[in-house]
Amino acid sequence: MKASVFVGTSVDGYLARPDGALDFLPPNGGEPHGYDEFMASVDALIIGRNTYEVVRAFEEWPYGEKPVFVLSRKALSPAPARAVVERMSGTPAQIVAALTRRGLRHAYVDGGLTIQSFLQAGLIQRLTITRVPVIIGAGVPLFGPTTRDLMLKHIETRQYPSGLVKSEYEVLA
């Protein structure tokens, strides 16, 4: 199964503020930068519990009817209407193996600790980072400590009129 990351960060590399707020990110209806096309390419999402709690509070569930697998050892808060949510636990390799057995071919991995653990396990093949022109100074980092270098191959960088800068990478090792 292919696993990809598609995230927005502050210029200083944060996915969210310390309290999980995403208010510095542009609204979903803003300038198109490939998110809709990316979402059309994935079968399901793998997100962490903290990310789930943040997005379930949105006025509208952002993932439509795509299955969302939330990594947590504890029971989840009720899912929003029409959301397809399932709790899973295990190592990233166990999660990928289980979803592969279910026939999934491409998963969107999201959430700080979830992205970090899947990268460390060597299970992310594509990384797309859109930098928002703001420095927030503290928050949930995209990358954490690593036990080894993670080599990337630059695919493309694109600048948008709003100031967004999107870079795509293939994860080599």
pTM value surpassing 0.75 = yes
Q: How distant, in Å, are the alpha carbons of 54, 92, 99, 105, 149 from that of 22?
A: 9, 25, 28, 29, 29
The domain locations on the chain are 2-171
**pLDDT tens sequence across 29-81:** 567 888 889 999 999 999 999 999 999 988 889 999 999 999 999 999 999 98
Instruction: Work out the mean pLDDT of the chain and round it to a whole number.
Output: 93
Give the pLDDT score at 147: 87
Distance of alpha carbon 132 from alpha carbon 53, whole angstroms: 23
CATH superfamily entry for domain 2-171: Dihydrofolate Reductase, subunit A (3.40.430.10)
